[in-house]
Amino acid sequence: MHRSLRAAALLALAVPAGLAAPRAVVSPTTTPAGITPLAPVDPALGTVTPDFSWSLDTPPPPGTPVSYRLRIARDSALVHIVVDTVTDTAGYALRRPLKPGRPLFWHVDAPTASATTGLVGPIAVPPWATLTSLSTFSGVNTADAQPTLTWLSPAINTPPGPFRYDVFVRRAAPQFADVPDVSIAGLRSTSYQIPSPLERNLPYVWSLVVHVDPDTSLVRSAGTFMVVDGSVPPATQLYQNFPNPFPAADRDSTCLSFDLAMTAAVELEILDLRGNAVRHFVPGPEFPGILPAGRYGRSGPGGPTCDSRLMWDGHADDGRQMPAGVYLYKLKAGGITQFRRMVFRGRRR
């Protein structure tokens, strides 16, 4: 029986009905015969200097020389050649670093044995560095004015490795594209702490130039990062009072709280359901009409749980005891107006 027909018959017997045969990482247009590819055959490389190996399925008689032609390329047509060599061993150690981008393909022939691996690939080549801090498409904030930049790199043999890194940090505006705020060359570690504090509230980007001998690869952060004051909230927000309803258990009053993202003129007041003002907190005896950015209501003279200046016990501005019922409270700040509802159970007798 012809070799290919016999192999197909054996495969059909070995694979139960309804199950697919294992898939090799080879071109579907090529029928490998005689040489089994051993490495690399996974869909992605873990190194940029891989070792190639294969085995001849039917070894020749002892003393019979066998030579192999190995071709490694960045395309399936084997036009963009990385290596084209002849060897008398079933392996080859690539010591020229592969750059990311195009996938890898390879092919081995043994003309004297009429054997081939067929085309192996595509195999993804990893980037020379992957940024692991302060690099997201949507941007990221940090409270650390001297953040540590971190990254990961694939394996590389020495020589040609190890990798060396140049780090650049610059403001994101186009006019600063050629003027880095931070630059350091020749690092061999995969982290770097910025030595001097960056300006707050400015968007920055960072990048690496990765070197291996004369070759380089540029890696940029996916988005911007910004150093912000950790005490400044990212948005103006009015929170639900607590407890609600009140009074509750041993709490005769309820606590109001809000975040202010920027310095602004602020109004915080309690209204009845008709919209009439009942109690003014800001501006008021304890607060001016303009407040700096910050968090209000859960810290201060009342302690970390509730600021006594923003506690309501059911009394109006003139001291009147308000009846039980549903009330609204309103925050107006920086062009934003927010309402929430609270339930006052009335004063205990």
Whether residue 349 is contained in a domain is answered as: no
Average pLDDT for the chain: 86
Q: Taking residues 2-14, report their average pLDDT.
A: 39
Examine the domain organization and report whether 251 and 339 are in the same domain: yes
Nearest to 257 by CA among 281, 290, 275, 227: 281
Nearest to 225 by CA among 207, 202, 208, 196: 202
CATH code assigned at 207: 2.60.40
Examine the domain organization and report whether 298 and 337 are in the same domain: yes
Contact 141, 178 (CB under 8 A): no
Question: Residue 349 has what pLDDT?
Answer: 57
| Domain end marker among 91, 123, 155 | 123
Examine the domain organization and report whether 64 and 32 are in the same domain: yes
Whether residue 212 is contained in a domain is answered as: yes
Whether residue 49 is contained in a domain is answered as: yes
pLDDT digits (tens, 9 = 90+) for 66-103: 899 999 999 999 999 999 999 999 999 999 999 999 99
| Domain end marker among 123, 153, 182 | 123
CATH code assigned at 339: 2.60.40.4070
What dihedral angle (degrees, nearest 10) is formed by the CA atoms of 332, 334, 337, 341?
-50
Whether residue 6 is contained in a domain is answered as: no
Integer CA distances (angstroms), 171 to 82, 146, 174, in order? 38, 15, 8
Whether residue 208 is contained in a domain is answered as: yes
Number of domains in the chain: 3
| Tokens standing for residue 181 | 């705020």
Whether residue 137 is contained in a domain is answered as: yes
Peptide linkage before 154 cis (omega within 30 of 0): no
Examine the domain organization and report whether 154 and 203 are in the same domain: yes
Q: Model's pTM, two decimal places? A: 0.61
Q: Which amino acid is at 154?
A: P
- The residues that bridge with 220 in the sheet, in sequence order, are 207
Examine the domain organization and report whether 211 and 270 are in the same domain: no
3-class secondary-structure state, position 11: helix
Examine the domain organization and report whether 222 and 250 are in the same domain: no
Q: Where in the sequence is the domain holding 151, given as residue range(s)? A: 130-227
24 vs 90: which has the higher pLDDT: 90
Banded pLDDT at 33 (limits 50, 70, 90): low
Examine the domain organization and report whether 154 and 59 are in the same domain: no
Peptide linkage before 162 cis (omega within 30 of 0): yes
Examine the domain organization and report whether 169 and 79 are in the same domain: no
Examine the domain organization and report whether 329 and 245 are in the same domain: yes
pLDDT digits (tens, 9 = 90+) for 120-139: 999 999 999 999 999 998 88
Whether residue 268 is contained in a domain is answered as: yes
Examine the domain organization and report whether 65 and 27 are in the same domain: yes
pLDDT digits (tens, 9 = 90+) for 158-168: 999 999 999 99
Q: Of the spans 43-52, 60-69, 178-187, 287-296, which averages the highest pLDDT?
A: 43-52
Q: Taking residues 96-112, report their average pLDDT.
A: 93
Question: Residue 299 has what pLDDT?
Answer: 59
Question: Residue 139 has what pLDDT?
Answer: 86
Q: What percent of the chain has pLDDT over 70?
A: 88
CATH code assigned at 87: 2.60.40.10
3-state helix, strand, coil in the chain (%, to 5): 5, 45, 50
Examine the domain organization and report whether 267 and 299 are in the same domain: yes
Examine the domain organization and report whether 287 and 303 are in the same domain: yes
| Domain end marker among 227, 257, 279 | 227
112 vs 135: which has the higher pLDDT: 135
**Cβ neighbourhood burial of 49 (10 Å; 0-12, 13-18, 19+):** buried
23 vs 56: which has the higher pLDDT: 56
If residue 307 lies in a helix (H) or strand (E), which one and from where to where?
A: none
Report the range of poorest mean pLDDT among 209-218, 226-235, 322-331: 226-235
Backbone angles phi, psi at 270, to 5 degrees: -105, 135
| Tokens standing for residue 103 | 């996938």
Whether residue 269 is contained in a domain is answered as: yes
Q: Taking residues 162-190, report their average pLDDT.
A: 91
